[in-house]
Structure formats: structure tokens, C-alpha cells
Amino acid sequence: MTREELFAKREQKLKEKRMRRLMVIGGIIAALLLVFLIVRIATGRVSKKPGADSSVKTTEQTGASAGTTVSRTTETQSTAGTQGSTETAGTAQGVTETPAAQMTDETVSADDTAVKGTTDYTAEGINGWNDSGSGRWYKTAEGQQYMSGWKTLDGSRYFFKADGFAATGWEMADDGNMYYFNEDGTWDSTQKQKLVALTYDDGPSWNTDLILDVLGQYNAKATFFVVGVNQADFYTSELLREYNEGMEIANHTYEHVILSKSDGDTITHQISANDELIKSLTGYDMTLLRAPGGGTNDTVHEFVNKPLIQWDVDTLDWQTRDAANTLATIKEQVRDGSVILMHDLYQATAEATVDIVPTLYHMGYKMVTVSELAEAYGYTLENGVEYYSFYPEESPDPEIRAAHGGQA
């Protein structure tokens, strides 16, 4: 799905939500008026001409309801999620026929996962490799083509996408990992995927849906550090979507209280109250904490009952509110094992994510949760300990450290 399509869907969903809420509020107002009339009749105080006081009260009630509606609908813009890759199947135009003499060895390998099928352009090609404006594809002796998996041809490994074209550049294969393929489609085993954790604070909010839409397109995961009051308890559908789509939900305190300025009882309450709220809404037990503002001290270390997750890439999105700046900061500072700080409270951050996710994907980064990143690179998370990054070359595991250029 293109950037324009994402935003168009977002606007359409906003209009639909507005209409539904107006209908609900209209029904509520009508029901209240009916109850009011019934009560007046029952008490024998019905007046043919309502007085000024009655009119004023009705207007005030209606205004209050409308105000609530405007506030919520303004903040609940979202986009219907579209998961999966958006690669477009190529056409048969510009097909360059490969001589039949160059037919390659189709010997089946135990590691092959590709299936055989046909597309709109299969009949146009000849047996063996074919080239078109959309890429290379392979026609089998049975008149089909390989798609959706790995295939060994003439001793080289290829990954065919769902549209039948051989992958080039960085591509996520069917095992969920990233692999690099040369321009001719051959797998380059010397190139290794990198891992990064995208994190979003202060949500959920009306921007969360757009972020989830983009993550879903690239099979990417993120960690959302959520606030309880006025966020998780208000944007419950967005919170549930995070949970249902396999994102990591983590604690950002119940009321966004600065823990480094709080006593032990307050720290304990802010963490436990948020734990209980999220548990009641999703059934999920949060295991990570990010202190608001990242502020910690000895008291925080003593009273928190979770690992403290900081960051090594600070986008300053809360300050700049500029999507281009957020993207540029990430491209400049990201490295294997980074933890990126953003906030889904801001529309500019959601819009930046539309570009951030595909950019990192094509840079060879697999986007994972904080817990997945720590585990993959051999870090054991401990309560009360701060973690800024999970660089593999600094891993506690000597084998992981050596494999990524660190000291054995």
C-alpha cells in the first residue's frame, strides 16, 4: 500500500467514526428526552410551553455531549490495517527471452520451499530464466514458475516472492529473517541481517493505528510503552490491536509521573496500577518499564520491579514534530542493536513511521521488540537495571560477541 493510500484510508476511517458517533449521540439524546417527558408526565408537571430554564438545560446537555464527541473523533483518526507485502506483480511487457539452451538445473534441494504456480505473464515466457521490467523470474519445464519460497538453481540459492519474481536487495524470507540478494537474484550469504527495536512512548493514541498499519506491511514489530490514565483506558481499541498483532506492550507509568522526583510509594503505585489496568484490558502482563523522561536515580532502581529500558537513538520527535527530521536522525544514528525512541502521541511521528519502516527494511534491519532484541543478542534483562542498547559486539555471550566483531 502506498503512502497516499494509507493516508486516504485514514481519512475515510475518520469519517466513518464521526458518522457512527454522531448516530450514537443522537440516539442517546433522543432517549434522554423521552425519559424526561415520561418522568414529567408521571409527576403531572408537563408544560405545553417549556420555560427558558428547561431550554437552557437541554442546550447545555447537548453541548456537553457534542464537545465530548468532537474531542474523541478528532483524536481517533486511523487507517484500516493492510498486512503483507505490497509488491505488484509485473506484466509481460518487455520480456527478454532466454535461449532454451540456457535452461538451468532444477534439481530439488531439501532446503527448497518455493511452490510452482502461474501468473498473468507465465505463458509469455520460455522455459528457464526470463527478464521483464519488474525483475527476473523462472519458468519450469511444466510451464509454471517458482514463487513464495527458496529454490536452488545451478548451485545458487534464490528466493522467489509471492508474485513470482526473484528477490533482490534485502528481503524478508519465509522464515521471518532478512537476507540479501544480488541484482541477478543470487543470495549473498556474506551479508547478515541487523536487528533494531522501534519504541513508542506515551500512547496509545489516535496515531497508533497508522503506525500499526505500516508495521504490518513489513512484518515488523515494535514495543509500545503505554500510559494508563487518559491513554490506555481511553484508546482501548488501539491498545488491543497492539496486543493482537504481536507488539510488545510495556509500562510507562499509570499517570506519566516523573519517577526520579517521586518517593518509593509513588513509584510502586505508578507501576502496579498501570500493570493492573493493562492486565484487565488485554490479559497481558507487562515485563518492561521506561521511566517518563528516562529519569532514574537510586530510589527508582530500588523500587522498580522491571528492567528499565532507555535508548541510544533519540529522535527528539516530541520537540521537532517534524517527520523528515525524525527519519533523518534514525538513518544517521541507527546501528545493529539500537533502541530507537519515538512517541505515538504525535501525528508527525506516525507520518514519519510510514517512511521509517521501509527505509530500515531496505537497509537490512529486522524490526523486533525490545525483549526479542535482548534475547537474540544474548542479554539477560534484570529488574532495576538500565539498558540503553543491545549491541551484538558487546554481548555478554562470547560467541555472539565474536561473530559480530567484538572481543571473544
Axis crossing angle, helix 323-333 with helix 347-362, rounded to the nearest 10: 40
> 3-state DSSP helix/strand/coil percent for the chain, to nearest 5?
40, 20, 40
* DSSP H stretches of helix in 165-297: 208-217, 236-244, 264-282
Task: Find the catalytic residue in 163, 209, 343, 344.
Answer: 343
How many residues in total does the chain contain? Answer: 408
Task: Find the catalytic residue in 201, 202, 317, 336.
Answer: 201
Q: Greatest CA span in the chain, whole angstroms? A: 99
Which residues are CB-contacts of 221 (< 8 A; sequence separation ≥ 6)?
215, 246, 247, 248, 367, 368, 369, 372
Calpha distance 239→224 (Å, rounded): 9
Query: If 0-12 CB within 10 Å is exposed, 13-18 middle and 19+ buried, where does residue 308 land?
Result: buried
111 among known catalytic residues: no
Give CA 65 to chain center in angstroms.
33
HEC sequence for 363-393: CCEEEECHHHHHHHCCCCCCCCCEECCCCHH
Calpha distance 245→221 (Å, rounded): 9
362 among known catalytic residues: no
Catalytically active residues, by annotation: 201, 343
